[in-house]
């Protein structure tokens, strides 16, 4: 089952100093492998100023402060996909003018474990 909901939460200041707003949460639970997608907006997202390490720290912060703290459907083994974009686009629509970064985590032992791929 796939579900999507707008999730306009209050803005959060990330470790990099960017401000991010949660604009959509998408949940999928097919075959017992739950997936939660947390989609954020950060209008000042600039790939020229963000290193891969900085991006990872911001994404992990969002996973730990939202998926772990406020999502009862997130349980051990849940895959969390965190994305950060400079503007909102419909899920699954490709727009080459949008700056976007994303990371994948698995909930393991009460923590967001980064899944390098």
Average pLDDT of every residue of the chain = 85
| pLDDT tens, position by position, 35-71 | 899 999 999 998 888 889 999 999 999 998 887 766 6
Residue 72, pLDDT score: 62
| pLDDT tens, position by position, 7-45 | 545 689 999 999 999 999 998 887 777 889 999 999 999
- Whether residue 105 is predicted with pLDDT greater than 50 in this model: the reply is yes
Residue 70, pLDDT score: 62
DSSP 37-86: EEEEE-TT--TTT--HHHHHHHHHHHIIIIIHHH-TT--TT-EEEEEEES
């Amino acid at each position: 089952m796939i579900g999507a909901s707008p999730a306009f939460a209050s803005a959060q200041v990330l470790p990099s100093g960017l401000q991010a707003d949660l604009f959509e949460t998408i949940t999928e639970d097919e075959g017992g492998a739950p997936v939660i997608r947390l989609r954020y907006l950060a209008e000042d997202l600039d790939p020229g100023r963000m290193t891969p390490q900085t991006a990872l720290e911001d994404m992990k912060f969002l996973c730990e402060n939202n998926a772990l703290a406020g999502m009862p459907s997130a349980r051990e083994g849940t895959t969390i996909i965190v994305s950060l974009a400079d503007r909102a686009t419909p899920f699954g629509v490709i727009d080459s003018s949008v700056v976007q970064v994303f990371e994948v985590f698995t909930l393991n032992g009460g923590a967001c474990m980064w899944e390098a791929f």
